[in-house]
Amino acid sequence: MKRLEKILKKNKYIKIKLKKIATNHLELKATINGIKGKFILDTGASNSCVGLDLIEYFNLDTEESDTKAAGAGATDMETLLSQSNHLKIGSWKTKKCHLVLFDLSHVNTALTQHHAKEVHGIIGADILRKGKAFIDYNKNVLYLKKAKK
């Protein structure tokens, strides 16, 4: 694995530590519009998400959405969209982070029932794709490719 890490570093990938929590999810810290938060890494989530109750916390501009969210046992949830946010994970960053906002209380209830702490949102496949991600599950590390300037 040291060889892979060396190759990724040479190819301008940034190493981001992940924390395995009580539910076996991987958690990471990130900032949205300069505000720190805790997020679950979810390769199965098509979009990155933030709780509806955190619009002011993350200084989000939102717009109506016809999209219904589903996940973690909940379906048909109302959503809002927030576009062109600044997202920073470690030293990796983008100024074009689009977020889906919906009620994450069911996610946080499931986490706290398993003695894990609540999260602000979910980092999904959209960001992983944008960052050309590699995940080392054995070492709990995420690698994202530094964006070209």
User: For a pLDDT cut of 90, what percent of the chain falls above it?
Assistant: 81
Q: How many folded domains does the chain comprise? A: 1
Q: How confident is the model at residue 147 (pLDDT cuts 50, 70, 90)?
A: confident
Whole-number mean pLDDT of the chain? 91
Where residue 79 falls among pLDDT bands split at 50, 70, 90?
Answer: confident
Task: Output the domain CATH number for residue 102.
Answer: 2.40.70.10
Name which of 135, 119, 47 is nearest 85 in CA terms.
47
What percent of the chain is modeled with pLDDT above 70? 91
Spatial CB neighbours of 60, under 8 Å, sequence gap ≥ 6: 32, 33, 50, 54, 82, 85, 99, 101
Does the structure show a pLDDT above 80 at 100?
yes
Q: Which of 30-39, 54-63, 73-82, 127-136 has the lowest mean pLDDT?
A: 73-82
- Reading the block at residue 128, the tokens are 């992983």
pLDDT confidence tier of residue 91, bands split at 50, 70 and 90: very high
The pLDDT of 83-94, averaged and rounded, is: 97
Q: Which domain holds residue 20?
A: 2-145
Place of tokens 């997202």: 87
pLDDT for 76: 55
* Residue 65 pLDDT exceeds 80: no
pLDDT value at residue 77 = 67
| Higher per-residue confidence, 103 vs 69 | 103
